C-alpha cells in the first residue's frame, strides 16, 4: 500500500485534517511560524538529542508551531528513528545519521513531502546511504570519515543526490579494483586450503584410533599428506586417480594393523597386500615427484608386508594428526546437508556481520567446486576465508549472521500514517459515540432511577417472602430428617435384638470384637453420616479413638457411649472382614462357656 492512500482527502489539507482531528484546534491568539521559518530552524536541530519542536520554539521565542507542523515534525522524527534503528545500520552510524537529519525533517514540511511522495529525492538519497551503511562498522579503516560524509549528505538543505552519487561511484570503483586483486591472489590459496583440509580430514578419519609401524607412521605427515594434496589439486575429488588413491591407502592401513596378521585373517591379508602392491605402489610414480622418496616409501612398505606375512614383530606407534583440518574436524563435529545447501545458496556481494565484534564482511569469492568462501570489508580488503562447512557452523552457532536489507523509508512512513489514520477514525467515531451517549444519558438516568426504585421495592418484598418460605422449609426439613433418622435408627437397632437388653448385649459383643482399622459410620441427629476408622483403644480409660480417612481429625468416645450408639442405631460397623467375624464368634463362644452353654 502506498503512503499516498493512507489518509483520504486532497494533498493540500490531508495532513492538516489528520493532525487537527488527532490533536484538536490551536489556541486562539497564537502567533504561528511560517513553513519557511520552521524549515530554516529545523536544519540545525539535532533530532537524536532533542525534541525538534521544543528546540525550534527555544530558538524562536514568541512563535508557535501550527497543529499541522507539530504533527508533521513529530511524525518525520519517529519515521526516521524507526528507519535508522534497523539492523542494516550499525548503532553508532545510526546515531550519527539521525543527529544530522534535521534537513530531512525540514523536507517533510511541504505538502508533497517525502512522507507522502515515493519519488521524492530523499528516498533516492537514503538508498545510497543504505549501500554504504551495509558494510560500515566503527573499526573499519576510515570509518569516521565515511560516517561524516553520509551525515553531510543528510544535513545539506537542498538534499541533492548528484554529489552523493559521484562519491558512491568512486568508492565502489576503488573497492572493486582492490577486491579484484584480492580475488586473483587468493583464488589459488583457497584451492590449496581446500586440498589441505580435505586431505587432512580423510587421513585423520582413516587413521583415527589406529597405530602403524613406527617406520611407516612418520611418513604419513611427511609424504602421504602431500601426495593426497597434490592429487586433489591437479586431478580433483571426482577423478579416478583420487578414488584409487583413497581406496588403496585404506587397504594399506588395514593390512598393517596387528589383527590383520592373525591366522584367521591370513588369506585376506595375502589378497589385500597383493592388491596394494598392484594399485598403490604404481601410483607413487604419479603422485610423488621425488624419486628418492618414492623408493624409500616402497622399500618400507615391502618390509612391513614381509613382517606381516611372516609374523615378524614390529614396533607400533600412534599416527600424529595430519595438520590442516578446520575447526569442525578438530572438534569432531559435522553440519547437516540442509545447512550446507543454505550456504551454497548465498550469493556474491551479500553482507554478513559478526555480532560480537560488529565486523561486517562481504562475500567476494565463492568457489563451489572447492567449497571455499572469501570475504572482504567495505574497502575491498581481505578479512577472512572459510570452507562451506566452517561458514555453516559459524552461521548456525550465531557467530555470524546476514545483514538484513533495510525496509524503505516510504514504507515506514506509510505504516505510521496508516496507524495515525486509524487513530483518527477511532477518535472521530468515539466523539460521535460520546455525543450520542450524552444525549441519551439524561433520559436513561431518570428511567433507570425509577426502575431501580420499583425493582428495589419488589425485590425487598420477594426477599421477605422467600426468607419466610426458606425458614418454614428448613424447619420442615429438619423435622423430616430427624424423623427419618429416628426411623433408620430404630430399624438398625432392631437388627441387634428385639429388646433393649439384647441390643446392648449384641452391641457389647460388637465393640469387644472390633479390630484395629475397623470402619464405623457415625450418624448425627439429622442423619448426616461420618465415616471414621478405629485407631486407638485405651483400656485404662475405656476410650476409643477414631480418625477420618486421612488420619488428621480425631474423635474420642467412651466404651459405654459406643455401645449405646451401636445399640441405638446411631453408629454402624461398616467395615467387616473374616478376621472381625472370627473375633466376634470367639467372644460369643467364650461367654457361652462361662455360662455353661455347651454344644451338648
Confidence of residue 598 (pLDDT cuts 50, 70, 90): very low
Task: Name the more confident of 456 and 212.
Answer: 212
Residue 70 burial (C-beta neighbours within 10 Å; 0-12, 13-18, 19+): middle
Tell the residue number behind the cell numbers 561458514, with chain if given.
391
Q: What is the DSSP string of 271-326?
A: HHHHHHHHHHHHHHHHH---HHHHHHHHHHHHHHHHHHHTT----EEEPPPPTT--
Q: What is the pLDDT of residue 20?
A: 83
Q: 432-452: per-residue pLDDT in tens? A: 888 888 888 888 888 888 888
Confidence of residue 13 (pLDDT cuts 50, 70, 90): low
Q: What is the pLDDT of residue 464?
A: 82
Residue 9 falls in which region: left (phi positive, over 0), alpha (psi -120 to 50) or beta? left
Q: 485-535: per-residue pLDDT in tens? A: 777 888 877 777 778 888 899 989 989 989 999 999 999 887 889 999 999
Stated pTM of the model: 0.60
Residue 284 burial (C-beta neighbours within 10 Å; 0-12, 13-18, 19+): middle
Q: What is the pLDDT of residue 325?
A: 58
Q: Say how far apart CA 374 and CA 362 lie, in whole Å.
A: 8
Q: Say how far apart CA 136 and CA 147 lie, in whole Å.
A: 8
| Helix H or strand E encompassing 558 | strand 554-558
Q: Which residues contact 378 (CB under 8 A, 6 or more apart)?
A: 132, 135, 136, 140, 146, 175, 360, 362
Confidence of residue 3 (pLDDT cuts 50, 70, 90): very low
Task: Name the more confident of 229 and 27.
Answer: 229
Q: 530-539: per-residue pLDDT in tens? A: 999 999 999 9
What's the CA angle centered on 82, arms 78 and 88, to 5 degrees? 155
Task: Give the 3-state secondary structure of residue 564.
Answer: helix
Q: What is the pLDDT of residue 154?
A: 94
Handedness of CA 196, 202, 205, 211 (dihedral sign): negative
> pLDDT exceeding 70 applies to what percent of the chain?
91
Q: Say how far apart CA 497 and CA 414 lie, in whole Å.
A: 96
- Highest mean pLDDT of the ranges 95-99, 308-312, 389-393: 95-99
Task: Name the more confident of 390 and 596.
Answer: 390
Cα–Cα nearest to 89, from 351, 384, 399, 382 = 351
What count of residues does the chain have? 600
Residue 233 grid coordinates = 589439486
* Residue 576 confidence (pLDDT) above 90: no
Q: What is the DSSP string of 111-127?
A: TT-TTT-TT-HHHHHHH
The values of phi and psi at residue 358, to 5°, are 80, 0
Q: What is the DSSP string of 365-396?
A: EEETTTTEEEEE-TTS-EEEEEEHHHHHHHHH
Q: 169-184: per-residue pLDDT in tens? A: 999 999 999 888 988 8
Cα–Cα nearest to 567, from 483, 492, 482 = 492
Q: 245-293: per-residue pLDDT in tens? A: 899 999 989 999 999 889 999 899 999 999 989 988 888 888 888 889 8
* Residue 1 confidence (pLDDT) above 70: no
Q: What is the pLDDT of residue 287?
A: 87
Cα–Cα nearest to 255, from 196, 176, 308, 199 = 308
Interval 295-324 mean pLDDT: 89
Q: 133-190: per-residue pLDDT in tens? A: 999 999 999 999 999 999 999 999 888 889 999 999 999 999 999 888 988 888 788 7
| CB under 8 A, 24+ apart: contacts of 342-351 | 342/392, 342/395, 343/373, 343/388, 343/391, 343/392, 343/395, 344/368, 344/388, 346/373, 350/402, 350/403, 351/134, 351/135, 351/402, 351/403
Q: What is the pLDDT of residue 4?
A: 36
Q: What is the pLDDT of residue 179?
A: 86
Amino acid at each position: 500500500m502506498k503512503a499516498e492512500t493512507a489518509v483520504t482527502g486532497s494533498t493540500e489539507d490531508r495532513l492538516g485534517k489528520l493532525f487537527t482531528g488527532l490533536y484538536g484546534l490551536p489556541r486562539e491568539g497564537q502567533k504561528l511560524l511560517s513553513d519557511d521559518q520552521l524549515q530554516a530552524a529545523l536544519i540545525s536541530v539535532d533530532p537524536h538529542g532533542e525534541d525538534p519542536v521544543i528546540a525550534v520554539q527555544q530558538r524562536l521565542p514568541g512563535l508557535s508551531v501550527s497543529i499541522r507542523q507539530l504533527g508533521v515534525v513529530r511524525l518525520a522524527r519517529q519515521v526516521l528513528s524507526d528507519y535508522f534503528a534497523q539492523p542494516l545500520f550499525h548503532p553508532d552510524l545510526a546515531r550519527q545519521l539521525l543527529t544530522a537529519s534535521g534537513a530531512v525533517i525540514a523536507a517533510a514540511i511541504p505538502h508533497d513531502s517525502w512522507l507522502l511522495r515515493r519519488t521524492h529525492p530523499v528516498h533516492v538519497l537514503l538508498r545510497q546511504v543504505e549501500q554504504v551503511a551495509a558494510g560500515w562498522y566503527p573499526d573499519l579503516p576510515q570509518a569516521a570519515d565515511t560516517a561524516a560524509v553520509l551525515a553531510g549528505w543528510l544535513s545539506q538543505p537542498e538534499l541533492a543526490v548528484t554529489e552523493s552519487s559521484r562519491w558512491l561511484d568512486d568508492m565502489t570503483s576503488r573497492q572493486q579494483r582492490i577486491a579484484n586483486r584480492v580475488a586473483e591472489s587468493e583464488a589459488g590459496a583457497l584451492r590449496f586450503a581446500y586440498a589441505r583440509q580435505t586431505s587432512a580430514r580423510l587421513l585423520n578419519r582413516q587413521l583415527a584410533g589406529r597405530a602403524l609401524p613406527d617406520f611407516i607412521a612418520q611418513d604419513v605427515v611427511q609424504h602421504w599428506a602431500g601426495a593426497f594434496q597434490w592429487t586433489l589439486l591437479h586431478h580433483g575429488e571426482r577423478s579416478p586417480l583420487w578414488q584409487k588413491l583413497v581406496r588403496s591407502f585404506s587397504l594399506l592401513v588395514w593390512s598393517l594393523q596387528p589383527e590383520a596378521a592373525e591366522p584367521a585373517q591370513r588369506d585376506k591379508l595375502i589378497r589385500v597386500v597383493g592388491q596394494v602392491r598392484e594399485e598403490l605402489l604404481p601410483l607413487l610414480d604419479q603422485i610423488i615427484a621425488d624419486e628418492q622418496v618414492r623408493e624409500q616409501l616402497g622399500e618400507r612398505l615391502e618390509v612391513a608386508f614381509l613382517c606381516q606375512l611372516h609374523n615378524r614383530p614390529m614396533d607400533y606407534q600412534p599416527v600424529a594428526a595430519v595438520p590442516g583440518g578446520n575447526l569442525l574436524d578438530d572438534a569432531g563435529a559435522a553440519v547437516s546437508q540442509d545447512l550446507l545447501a543454505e550456504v551454497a545458496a548465498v550469493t556474491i556481494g551479500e553482507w554478513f556481520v559478526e555480532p560480537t565484534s560488529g565486523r561486517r564482511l562481504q562475500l567476494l569469492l565463492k568457489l563451489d567446486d572447492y567449497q571455499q568462501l572469501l570475504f572482504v570489508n567495505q574497502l575491498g580488503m581481505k578479512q577472512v576465508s572459510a570452507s562451506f562447512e566452517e561458514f555453516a557452523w559459524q552461521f548456525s552457532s550465531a557467530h555470524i549472521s546476514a545483514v538484513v536489507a533495510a525496509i524503505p523509508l516510504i514504507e515506514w512512513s506509510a505504516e505510521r500514517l496508516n496507524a495515525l489514520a486509524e487513530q483518527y477514525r477511532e477518535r472521530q467515531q468515539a466523539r460521535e459515540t460520546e455525543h450520542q451517549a450524552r444525549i441519551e444519558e439524561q433520559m436513561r438516568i431518570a428511567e433507570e432511577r425509577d426502575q431501580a426504585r420499583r425493582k428495589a421495592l419488589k425485590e425487598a418484598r420477594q426477599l421477605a417472602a422467600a426468607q419466610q418460605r426458606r425458614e418454614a422449609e428448613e424447619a420442615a426439613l429438619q423435622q423430616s430428617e430427624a424423623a427419618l433418622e429416628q426411623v433408620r435408627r430404630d430399624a438398625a437397632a432392631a437388627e441387634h435384638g428385639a429388646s433393649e437388653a439384647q441390643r446392648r448385649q449384641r452391641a457389647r459383643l460388637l465393640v469387644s470384637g472390633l479390630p484395629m482399622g475397623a470402619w464405623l459410620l457415625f450418624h448425627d441427629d439429622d442423619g448426616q453420616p461420618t465415616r471414621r476408622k478405629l485407631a486407638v483403644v485405651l483400656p485404662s480409660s475405656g476410650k476409643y479413638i477414631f480418625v477420618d480417612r486421612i488420619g488428621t481429625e480425631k474423635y474420642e468416645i467412651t466404651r459405654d457411649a459406643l455401645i449405646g450408639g451401636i445399640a441405638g442405631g446411631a453408629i454402624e460397623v461398616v467395615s467387616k472382614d473374616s478376621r472381625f467375624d472370627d473375633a466376634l464368634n470367639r467372644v460369643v463362644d467364650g461367654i457361652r462357656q462361662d455360662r455353661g452353654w455347651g454344644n451338648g
